[in-house]
Amino acid sequence: MRIFENANYDFIGARKKAYILSGTLILISLISFVVRGVELGIDFRGGMEFVVEANQELPVAPVRSALSDVLGEEPEVKTFGENALLIRTSDEGEINTVQAQIMETLTAEYPDANPTLQKTDIVGPRFAEDLKRGALYSVLGSLLVIFVYVLIRFEWRFGATAVAALFHDVVVTLGVFSLLQGIMPFSLQIDQTIIAAFLTIVGYSINDTVVVFDRIREYSNLYKTMPFPTMVNKAINSTLSRTIITSATTLFVIVVLFIFGGEVLRGFAFAVGFGIIAGTYSTIFVASPLMLELRQRSAKAAV
């Protein structure tokens, strides 16, 4: 994109405005967590799981709609192999009653498909708690490993600000899920798929951030007499074309996945798409400016 080839935007000069925006978004997200919370999927709150097989393909969205009317809530419905569906619902009620309701509904809606129940299982509260704990550990563990990696490759200020930017991306994306649950026309339940989306966001965002950090280190050796804030701004501008092109092409794929990937993947695509936007923003306005702030404060403390 030639428009960004010789970019010279004053990102560092606008960092205080960015801090206000980021702080506001994080505050709104935290308030939403307290007031609205997040909608947990069956994986994290326990429930019943059924595998139903038929002699023809059963459409996921219509099956979900039909079962929602019968069960009184929207179940999780996914394709499960060839001509089979994985149906998950909450653990309220007797499993035999829920099983009968599901099979009666599917038989009535799709009599030619001859649906048969292949498997029944219960995700207990203890197992759900283990999954919840494992998901939390996976996200925190990834942040820790990234901090150590950036610390070894650069220095502690780079590592600390990289993790701060990733924390910003995850919290703001979670905040959007909390704010928009029940409003969007697709499910925003937090399940294992969404946790995978958050880990994808973390990986994508740190990749962008490390590219900028690498350019800052390169320019530190090339422009030794240049003021550090000017040099950081120059580094961000020099990688801007790469950042925008990478984000735009990735977003294009995510939009296609969101439109054509089906109901099951819409929450994942939405999380990754929003996370890419947040990650691009944090790379430019959070990670490098915060690193500059830490460097300047360290220099003042050393005097």
Write out 7-66 in H/E/C secondary structure. CCCCCCCCHHHHHHHHHHHHHHHHHHHHHCCCCECHHHHCEEEEEEECCCCCCHHHHHHH
CA distance 87 to 84: 10
- Which pairing describes strands 76-79 and 116-123: parallel, antiparallel, or unpaired? unpaired
Residue with tokens 């283990």: 130
CB atoms within 10 A of CB 71: 18
User: DSSP character for 283?
Assistant: I
Total domain count, the chain: 2
Same domain, 78 and 184: no
What pLDDT score does 161 carry? Answer: 92
What pLDDT score does 5 carry? Answer: 67
- Cross-strand bridge partners of residue 120: 50
Same domain, 191 and 72: no
Domain boundary among 105, 123, 141: 123
Domain boundary among 77, 93, 123: 123
Coil, strand or helix: which one is 155? coil
Same domain, 65 and 28: no
Same domain, 138 and 283: yes
For the domain that residue 284 is a member of, what is the CATH number?
1.20.1640.10
Domain boundary among 88, 107, 123: 123
CA distance 105 to 120: 17
Same domain, 178 and 263: yes
Read out DSSP for 241-280?
HHHHHHHHHHHHHHHHHHHHS-HHHHHHHHHHHHHHHHHH
Same domain, 214 and 140: yes
What pLDDT score does 84 carry? Answer: 84
Domain containing 170 equals 2-40+128-302
Coil, strand or helix: which one is 120? strand
With a CB cutoff of 8 Å and minimum separation 6, the contacts of 16 are none
What pLDDT score does 23 carry? Answer: 94
Same domain, 172 and 298: yes
CA distance 168 to 174: 10
Q: Which helix (H) or strand (E) holds 88?
A: strand 84-89
Same domain, 35 and 92: no
CA distance 222 to 3: 25
Sign of CA dihedral 118, 124, 130, 135: positive
What is the token pair recorded at 145? 């490993």
pLDDT lower than 70: segments of the chain: 1-5, 81, 91-92, 124-128, 301-303
For the domain that residue 53 is a member of, what is the CATH number?
3.30.70.3400
pTM tops 0.85, yes or no: no
Same domain, 182 and 60: no
Q: HSE, CB side, 13 Å, CA atoms: give it for residue 135.
A: 20
Same domain, 32 and 54: no
Same domain, 199 and 265: yes
Are 148 and 159 in contact, with CB atoms under 8 Å apart? yes
Same domain, 67 and 36: no
What is the token pair recorded at 68? 């929602």
CB atoms within 10 A of CB 154: 18
Tell me the per-residue pLDDT of 5-46, one tens digit each, with 9 for 90 and over. Answer: 677 889 998 999 999 999 999 999 999 999 998 887 777 777
Closest to 181 in 3D by CA, of 189, 173, 172: 189
CA distance 190 to 178: 10
